[in-house]
Amino acid sequence: MNVPQARIYWESTGEPSGIPVLYLHGGPGGSLGNGGYRKRHDHTRFRTIGLDQRGCGKSTPTVQEDLDHLSENTTQALIEDIEAVREHLGIQRWIVTGVSWGSTLALAYALKYPARVLGIALVAVTTTSLDEVQWITEDVGRIFPEAWNEFFEAANTKPGERVVEAYARRLAGEDRNDARRAALSWDRWESTHISLDPNWEPGALFDDERERMTFALLVAHYWANDGFLTNGQEIIPRIHELNGIPGYLIHGRRDISGPAVTAWQLHRRWPSSHLVVIEDEGHGGPSSMAALSEAVENIAGMI
């Protein structure tokens, strides 16, 4: 069987000779979207690089077209994709930024390739640990019991199966109609646990079915495997290895999906980091993004 070659979509904005800034999107499977990240940094001073992570957005093949090789879509593979882009562009070192899942990937990348990182600036900080996955897929149901019960009942779990594992199984299954139903249930749950965010707007996260299924499939796949960061690869116990690299951990106090405790734990173990708590925001927002731009400026000032 021929294995399709992964082709990673990337784009570059700003001054070609400027300070390189890498942006890693959320999800997994969220993609670069409409490219709003391009506006966050001074185009005369920075070169901003974004990429659609493996299997989503404009990268090919999409996960929907390549289910047979889903097992190869891992955090370790994404890290090497990032390195391939860096080498292709001839960049020696860059400032690494990320939002939500992108913050997990940014930290995992920096831990693998610290010599390539000038600094790190993150919003809606996650590490995709077992505890965080347990919280967002099960324990946060204590706040939204009605919606979580619907989410649980729609999961169709097998004996001994976690809710997230049931969704991961169905979303990647041969019955694509069942996968569509699972994606709808997943979308409703995602819309619920972010609903206390002051910037939340009612409605589905994704109107486009293909985007909805790609997002749900990749999120469930990564979460069911605890971010592929287990057996000594967990981020929090290793974060001290990044001491000396400047870091900014920007997090909304009202983030119910991913409580601020993760950012706080990282900050306590990473002396060269700064914890920035945005009191009136949840899982990202305009003030958080403004803080991200400021953090990148601050890191650039240290170079």
Catalytic residue among 25, 193, 267, 283: 283
Tell me whether residue 100 is one of the annotated catalytic residues: yes
Tell me whether residue 283 is one of the annotated catalytic residues: yes
Catalytic residue among 59, 100, 185, 257: 100
CA distance 217 to 194: 19
Catalytic residue among 25, 197, 255, 257: 255
Residues annotated as catalytic (active site), given as ranges: 100, 255, 283
